[in-house]
Structures are given as C-alpha cells and as structure tokens.
Amino acid sequence: MEHNSIAEKINKYVLDSVNIDRIDFDMDIFEEGLVSSLFAIELMTFLEKNFEIKITTNDLDMNNYKCINSITEFVCKKKAGDLG
C-alpha cells in the first residue's frame, strides 16, 4: 500500500471518529483536544487490523500518533520492517 493511500485511510478513520469534515495532516489531534487519550487505544487497534502490523511496547510513544502525518510515517516504517 502506498504512502498516500495509507495517509488517506488514516485520515478517513480520524475524521469519522471525530465527526468533522477535514483536518490538517500536521495538526496534533491530542494537543488540540480533537480526540481524548482513550482514542489512542482505538487508533492502535485500527492500525493493527487495517495495516497488518504488530504494535510493540517500544512503539508506545505518543510522537508516533500525534498527527495524520506521524501516524502514516509510523505505519510505513512498521510495514517496511524498520521498527521491528
């Protein structure tokens, strides 16, 4: 799956979850109060199911999940095996 289609899929999931129409891919969704910390758990479940990756304890870093771009980058690295 290409970078752009991964980003789009993540974007759609976040938008559906927060019931808004569009979002800046660099916006910190947690800092901006768009989602609660509980959403982080739902998000990781979504990423594992939809991108066939396995999130490990080493991946539990909020920097991986703060915005659409960082989530996309994280998923791409996991799929490429760069993060184990």
Residue ranges binding another protein (CB under 8 A): 16-17, 19, 33, 36-38, 40-42, 44-45, 55, 57, 60-62, 65
Question: Please, what is the minimum distance in Å from the beta carbon of residue 11 to another protein?
Answer: 16
CB atoms closer than 10 angstroms to residue 14: 22
Question: Please, what is the minimum distance in Å from the beta carbon of residue 81 to another protein?
Answer: 20
Question: Please, what is the minimum distance in Å from the beta carbon of residue 6 to another protein?
Answer: 20
How crowded is the C-beta side of 43, counted as CA atoms within 13 Å?
Answer: 28
